[in-house]
Amino acid sequence: MLFALTSRGVGRILRSASFRLALIYAALFVVSACVLFATVFVTATAAMQNDMQAVLRTEAFQLAEIHRRAGLIGLAEQITRRMNFRTRGPIYYLLQAPNRQVVVGNLPGMPPVEGVVDFQRDPDASPAEAARSRLTGFGVTLPDGSFLLVAQDASRLVDMQSAIVRAFVWAGGLTLFLAVGGGLLLSSNFLRRIDTIGRTTRAIMEGDLSARIPARGTNDEIDQLVASLNAMLDRIQQLMEGLRQVTGDIAHDLRTPLGRLRQRLEDAREHATTTEEYASATEAAIAEADTLLEIFSALLRIAQIEAGAQRSAFTEFDLSDLLQSIGDAYLPVAEDSHHTLELKIDPGVRFSGDRQLLAQMVSNLIDNALNHTTQGSIVRLALSQRPGGFAIEVADNGPGIPEAERARVFDRFYRLDRSRTTAGSGLGLALVKAIATLHGLTIELADAKPGLRVTISR
């Protein structure tokens, strides 16, 4: 069983993309090494051959000069001395008279040749010994018809070529070994990380929405992918928890208006006897139904905003003009409710977004401030330019919101205990939060001492 699992694991590694990529790079390296080997082999061989030929040519011309000065006998004596006292390694000589008779030398007689010649020192040598008996020579025909040949053992060239071949064979084999081993190691590591992602996704599919993919802290491509996936999972968990909360809140908060609607209809059916009583009951039922429709419309609008469906309507506009017009519109409303609305709008602030949604966001904040503060309170709407952005501030000097509840007021249907006696559905600030998030804005609630200060900034 263990062998089967191991075989399956190895087969999976061999089929992985990282292992194939490692093999591709290894193949490319081997091809490059072969090209380099051929270049080095040809270049080194040619350089050594040229060096050897240059030495033989120089030696042959020196001896030809001696023949010119001392004749054939003097040349034979010089060759004999050089054969007895070798100072340049194994050099072979052949001096033949014009009648092809060998005068002196350590090579057998041969037909005269001019220039460079390659030949076997021992024509009867076996194929294994042939490479070792190969000589490279340089022949010169002297003015009196004599033939002079100077030769050198070419085994050094063979040794050098063999060394180059061995070096590249070992290097190529080591490269392939390291490539395969490295490919196995990298693929195994890669597959472990993929398995970790797979286990996390299976845990999430089984209902554990809090499961996250662990990062290794290397900040490589997979870590960056893991960070993006975890951020996506955080958002999905947030949406799912919001959906659960909305479901529970709808069931809890809509039960009262639905029960009230049913009670009024039953009361009308049981007790209404005149047209006026039926009309009054109908009007009350319609009012309750309108309230329910407004709640569902607000929920639908929040869902659309959170889904990003409004981004197509983004345009650049003058935010200062928008807030000034909203403030001007609310001045008589504040006066009628015995509030004071103060405006402090910096001019020239521009922003790219949905003008209608931003107007609704600011209007909701002003409505909350006017509805949840006592008569005579002051509400302040301000827009200030900041380095790289701006800040919208809606503040009042009313009772404010306890710090422990500030994080929850943006939840759907959440209302403070003292606010349950006032009209509203608890969706206004949830809509503000959704609009701000859509536009990449941040919301901060703070104590205005007294009252509440809501700051929306970028």
Looking at residue 309, what is its pLDDT? 56
Higher confidence at residue 306 or residue 280?
280
Grade residue 181 by pLDDT with cuts at 50, 70 and 90: confident
Query: Tell me: domain 311-457, CATH 3.30.565.10, correct?
Result: yes
Q: Looking at residues 99-128, what average pLDDT do you find? A: 81
**Contact (CB, 8 A) for 257 and 263:** no
Looking at residue 4, what is its pLDDT? 40
User: What does the angle CA 227 – CA 233 – CA 235 come to, to the nearest 5 degrees?
Assistant: 105
Give me the half-sphere count of Cα atoms (radius 13 Å) on the Cβ side of residue 7: 4
Looking at residue 324, what is its pLDDT? 92
Q: What percentage of the chain exceeds 90 in pLDDT?
A: 9
In whole angstroms, what is the distance from residue 316 CA to residue 350 CA?
7
Helix (H, G, I), strand (E, B) or coil at 216: coil
Of the ranges 80-84, 257-261, 365-369, which one carries the lowest mean pLDDT score?
257-261
Q: Looking at residues 389-417, what average pLDDT do you find? A: 76
Domain boundaries, the chain: 12-122+131-208, 212-252, 254-306, 311-457
pTM for the model stands at 0.47
Helix (H, G, I), strand (E, B) or coil at 426: coil
Looking at residue 1, what is its pLDDT? 36
Looking at residue 126, what is its pLDDT? 61
Looking at residue 131, what is its pLDDT? 57
Q: Looking at residues 379-390, what average pLDDT do you find? A: 89
User: What does the angle CA 273 – CA 278 – CA 283 come to, to the nearest 5 degrees?
Assistant: 160
Grade residue 280 by pLDDT with cuts at 50, 70 and 90: confident
Q: Looking at residues 267-272, what average pLDDT do you find? A: 78
Query: What does residue 70 show for φ and ψ, rounded to 5 degrees?
Result: -115, -5
Looking at residue 149, what is its pLDDT? 92
Q: Which long-range contacts (CB under 8 A, 24 or more apart) does 311-317 make?
A: 311/354, 311/438, 313/354, 313/356, 314/352, 314/353, 314/354, 315/352, 315/353, 315/354, 315/355, 316/350, 316/351, 316/352, 317/350, 317/351, 317/352, 317/353, 317/355
Looking at residue 419, what is its pLDDT? 44
Average pLDDT of the chain to the nearest whole number? 79
**Is residue 36 over pLDDT 60?**
yes
Higher confidence at residue 78 or residue 208?
78
Topology (CATH) of 12-122+131-208: Beta-Lactamase (3.30.450)
Looking at residue 2, what is its pLDDT? 35
Of the ranges 40-49, 95-104, 128-137, which one carries the lowest mean pLDDT score?
128-137
**Is residue 147 over pLDDT 90?**
yes
Looking at residue 393, what is its pLDDT? 92
Higher confidence at residue 430 or residue 98?
98
Grade residue 381 by pLDDT with cuts at 50, 70 and 90: very high
Q: What percentage of the chain exceeds 70 in pLDDT?
A: 80
**Is residue 321 over pLDDT 90?**
yes
Give the strands of the sheet with 452-457, arranged side by side.
Answer: 340-345, 378-386, 389-396, 452-457, 442-447
Please choose, from the candidates 162, 37, 151, the residue with its C-alpha nearest in 3D space to the C-alpha of residue 88. Answer: 151
For the ranges 9-23, 152-166, 288-302, 404-418, the maximum mean pLDDT occurs at 152-166
Looking at residue 420, what is its pLDDT? 43
Q: Looking at residues 305-333, what average pLDDT do you find? A: 81
In whole angstroms, what is the distance from residue 28 CA to residue 403 CA?
65
Q: Looking at residues 110-123, what average pLDDT do you find? A: 83
